[in-house]
Structure 1
């Protein structure tokens, strides 16, 4: 498949790049800092640009079969970059004629907060209280966009290696602060390109 990756230089995005490459996909990465990407073969095309610019995203998306987005806020606890990315992404994909989108969000956003443990809720009310409303708005926009979107809601992300041992569902009752490795999340995201099970749905991921 021909894939456009947004957020490819982040810690989860890099895992998606590696997984998609290992599975033989042709990757186009729209990034601001190309030096952060691994050196791969000619199946990785790098475009330097702004993911919040609608025309830039539309141009990058033309001719692609699907888009995988792992845009996050990095170390910022106040950024609205996810919402601004989605504001550009939805019309850009309609313009480019690309329907399939696998989008990384986060557990605790929207109604999934109701399933969170006390520890998780405390975390969401404090450290993440400014960025989660932006993520929630972005997810609502995606679900209303008419795109064939899978929203991926992992619990706390870790840097543990891939082991393929993770759970996927739309309802969990968690205790404490469960985690899941970015490598496992990348595995799930790339797998959705060939599996319609979670099409137009929210998938919660946990180890």
Structure 2
């Protein structure tokens, strides 16, 4: 399968790239800084660009079977329009390139999943993460209205632990406390979703 991976050098995207290569996929890694690919540079097709630019993403999307977006805001608590602008760019680019499959990484607590979070989580989402999550709400809804074969993934709090392979995923997954899931497991789920049709037009919550 030919995959375009956005955020390929990020903490989750790197796991997606590694999985895709181990599975024999042809990987195009969309990055801002190709030097960040390190030892992967000779194993992927690197494309340098801006994920909020339709032109840049469209050029990379030509000939791909699917797009996986693992874009993140890093340590910033403000999105500065990253996800709204990137979603618009990806939707426009996939239309131009003739790619219909998109797997998009969001966050638990965004949009409809807010209602399933704990009281402590809701306080954090309404204060510390308010700007970031407001931007993601717009992006996610835009993707769901795009006409693409989308999957929007809502992981609980991300960790850097190893893959366990025993995660839970469902359209509705109410929970208590502050559950977590490793980025490696999220990457595995996204990679699997891109290869099948089970999660098309669905918004799964995923957690350990």
Question: Into which bin does the TM-score normalised by the smaller protein fall?
Answer: over 0.9
Quote the residue 1:19 is aligned against. 19
CA RMSD of aligned residues (A): 1.1
Inter-partner Cα distance in structure 2 for 1:50 and 1:178: 33
Unpaired segments of 5 or more residues in structure 2? none
CA contact (8 A) 1:28 1:47 kept: yes
Structure 2 length as normaliser, TM-score?
A: 0.96
- Asked if 1:153 is matched to 2:154, the reply is yes
In the TM superposition, what are the counterparts of 1:71-150 in structure 2 within 5 Å? Answer: 71-79=71-79, 80-150=81-151
Structure 1 length as normaliser, TM-score?
A: 0.97
* Secondary structure in structure 2 of the residue aligned to 1:168: strand
Quote the residue 2:176 is aligned against. 175
Inter-partner Cα distance in structure 1 for 2:120 and 2:175: 10
Structure 1's consecutive aligned runs of 4 or more residues displaced over 6 angstroms after TM superposition are none
CA contact (8 A) 1:3 1:28 kept: yes
Deviation string for 1:84-141 (max 9, x for gaps)?
1111110110000000000000111111101111121112112101110110000010
Alignment: residue pair count:
207
Inter-partner Cα distance in structure 1 for 2:43 and 2:150: 24
CA contact (8 A) 1:158 1:182 kept: yes
Quote the residue 2:3 is aligned against. 3
Deviation string for 1:64-103 (max 9, x for gaps)?
0000001111111112211111111101100000000000
Q: CA deviation at 1:40?
A: 3.2
CA contact (8 A) 1:117 1:173 kept: no
Quote the residue 1:55 is aligned against. 55
- Asked if 1:186 is matched to 2:177, the reply is no
Unpaired segments of 5 or more residues in structure 1? none
Query: CA 1:89–1:41 in structure 2 vs 1: closer, same or farther (change >3 Å)?
Result: closer
* Secondary structure in structure 1 of the residue aligned to 2:163: coil
